[in-house]
Amino acid sequence: MKFLDQTKVFIQSGGGGDGCVGFRREKFIEYGGPDGGDGGRGGDVIAECVDGLNTLIDFRYQQHFKAQRGENGKGQNRSGKTGDTIILRVPVGTQILDDERETVIADLTKVGQSFVLAEGGDGGFGNAHFKSSVNQAPRHASPGWAGHERWIWLRLKLIADVGLIGLPNAGKSTFLAAVTRARPKIANYPFTTLHPNLGVGHVGQDEFVIADIPGLIEGAHEGAGLGDRFLGHVERCRVLLHLIDGTEEKPAAAYRTVRHELEAYGGGLSDKIEIVAINKIDALTPEEAEKKRKALSRSIKKEVRLISGVAGMGIPETLIAIHKVIKEARAEADAAAAEEAAAAAEAAEAEAEASS
């Protein structure tokens, strides 16, 4: 399956059906009066968050979505049928933006969450609606209201617990393949990874999702290399694992290059909890690896780990450290959700007491 994380689509809700001009025609009934029914309402366009999707590739082959128009009203006071609704099924983490990509219309982060992107037009009134004591035989009906149409952007931001960042060829894909069942393409040249890859890591019975992001280079926030297009996928991560190639001559410079791009991108990436690790230590002697670790730790004033995705060195300890951060973040999120639910319940109870 190909990966597609942003696309532009056209949506149009259905127009309302026209009202009907009709009169009752039955044997032995001389003055039947008006009986034209109202038009049906047009169908809506709805975005719905569903499980089992991790790409927007379906929207590459269909970019236009038009809901059904409501049926016209009919005689004998029969209203027209409501038009069918169009549902855009999108993966978890999809943002919906306007045509200018400046305003976020909706952010769908939970399975089952939905949002009405365009409401269908109301149906027109039939002539029976206009009947009154001074106009007992109206001969006019109103047309249905037109639907709404617009261009929108769908942008996917993968929801993962861990984001792997680093320069190209830092060993991110190798790490992902070593700790999960994901099988990303791995090669000894930069930019092997052209799109994000997901995998599920384990510590005991707990699971967490790891996202492998294509490598960054200097100037990525200005469009250099693959640019900052994929950094949006780590905006929702709870922790960042920053991998640095152990064969780099200047690990501190490599670290600062990526950190500068995170700060220039914004989105709170530079404020996220970060675990730093020197990768590919299987290509170094123990003395060389320890020397680089101490030098980098002094330079960035952070703890630095030594790992090897190929040889599995330092992997279990790193996963445990990652899991600890994720567990604490999940506990905080659960507590915040519980407080929010309690506040909502109190507000509902107060409103009920006020109304009674």
Inter-helix orientation angle 172-179/315-355, to 10° = 80
The pTM assigned to this predicted structure is: 0.75
Q: Which of 156, 173, 200 is the last residue of a domain?
A: 156
Other Cβ atoms closer than 10 A to 133: 5
| Residues in contact with 67: Cβ distance below 8 Å, sequence separation at least 6, in sequence order | 12, 13, 14, 42, 43, 44, 45, 83, 84, 85, 86, 118, 120, 147
Is there a single domain that holds both residue 78 and residue 222? no
The pair phi, psi for residue 241, each rounded to 5°, is: -105, 110
143 and 167 co-located in one domain: no
Rounded-to-integer distance, Cα 333 and Cα 344, Å: 16
What percent of the chain has a predicted confidence (pLDDT) above 70? 93
- What total of structural domains would you count in the chain? 2
pLDDT band with cut points at 50, 70 and 90 for residue 6: confident
Distance CA 26, CA 325 (A): 78
Q: What is the CATH number of the domain that holds 272?
A: 3.40.50.300
Residues 19 and 124 in one domain: yes
Q: Scan for tokens 């690990």, then name that residue.
A: 251
Confidence label for 348 from pLDDT (cuts 50, 70 and 90): confident
| Domain final residue pick, 156, 173, 206 | 156
Q: Which of 154, 37, 147 is nearest to 91 (CA)?
A: 154
Say yes or no: 67 and 132 in one domain.
yes
What does the pLDDT read at residue 278? Answer: 92
Structural contact between residues 295 and 252, judged by C-beta atoms closer than 8 angstroms: yes
- Provide the token pair at 70: 């409501």
Write down the pLDDT at residue 221: 54
Give the residue with greater pLDDT, 140 vs 269.
140
Q: List, in order, residues 6 or more apart from 315 with CB less than 8 Å away.
A: 175, 178, 179, 307, 308, 309
| C-alpha–C-alpha distance, residues 71 and 93, integer Å | 36
Could you read off the pLDDT of 56-97 as tens digits, one per residue?
A: 888 988 999 999 999 999 999 999 999 999 999 999 889 999
Statement to judge: residues 121 and 193 lie in one domain:
no
Angstrom distance (rounded) from CA 175 to CA 318:
11
**Is 132's pLDDT higher than 60?**
yes
Specify the DSSP element, H or E, that contains 351.
helix 315-355
Q: What is the CATH number of the domain that holds 138?
A: 2.70.210.12
Backbone dihedral angles phi then psi of residue 354, each to the nearest 5 degrees: -65, -40
What is residue 220's predicted lDDT score, i.e. its pLDDT? 57
Amino acid code (one letter) for 31: Y
pLDDT value at position 222? Answer: 57
Same domain? For 169 and 308 the reply is: yes
Assigned token pair, 336: 């915040």
State the Cα–Cα distance between residues 290 and 139, nearest whole angstrom: 92
pLDDT tens-digit map of 97-111:
999 888 999 999 889
* Amino acid of residue 156: L
**Phi, psi (rounded to 5 degrees) for 162:** -125, 135
Sheet holding 239-245, edge to edge: 197-203, 206-212, 162-165, 239-245, 273-279, 304-306
Q: Is 340 exposed, middle or buried (0-12, 13-18, 19+ CB in 10 A)?
A: exposed
* Domain co-membership, 151 together with 173: no
Q: What is the pLDDT of residue 226?
A: 58
User: Are residues 304 and 215 part of one domain?
Assistant: yes
For residue 120, pLDDT over 90 is answered with yes
In this structure, the answer to whether residues 138 and 166 fall within a common structural domain is no
Residue 283 covered by a domain: yes
Average pLDDT (222-249) is 78
Asked whether residue 1 carries a pLDDT value surpassing 60, the answer given is: no
Rounded to the nearest integer, the mean pLDDT of the chain is 87
Domain end point (choices 156, 183, 202): 156
- Give yes or no for residue 184 having a pLDDT over 80: no
Highest mean pLDDT among 81-90, 230-239, 311-320: 81-90
Burial of 350 (0-12, 13-18, 19+ CB in 10 A): exposed
Residue 35: strand pairing partners = none
Average pLDDT over residues 275-284: 90
Residue 228 has pLDDT above 80, yes or no: no
- As a whole number of angstroms, the distance between CA 85 and CA 146 comes to 15
Confidence of residue 187 (pLDDT cuts 50, 70, 90): low
Q: Which domain holds residue 315?
A: 162-333
User: Are 35 and 114 found together in one domain?
Assistant: yes
Full DSSP string of 25-83: --TT-S---B-PPPPPPPPPEEEEE-SS----GGGGS--EEEPPPPPPPBTTTBPPPPP
**Poorest-confidence range of 29-33, 173-177, 270-274?**
29-33
Amino acid 198: pLDDT: 80
- pLDDT recorded at residue 66: 95
| 140-150 pLDDT tens trace | 999 999 999 99
b/e sequence 199-224, b meaning 16+ C-beta within 10 Å: bebebeeeebbbbbbbbbbeebbeee
Query: What would the mean pLDDT of 313-341 be, rounded to a whole number?
Result: 87
Confidence (pLDDT) at 70: 95
193-202, pLDDT tens digit by residue? 667 778 888 8
Domain shared by 170 and 319, yes or no: yes
Phi, psi (deg, nearest 5) at residue 43: -75, 150
The verdict on residue 353 lying in a domain is no
User: Is the distance from CB of 93 to CB of 198 less than 8 angstroms?
Assistant: no
Q: Is residue 129 part of a domain?
A: yes
Residue 53 has pLDDT above 80, yes or no: yes
Residue 236: pLDDT band by 50, 70, 90 thresholds? confident
Residue 130 lies in a domain: yes
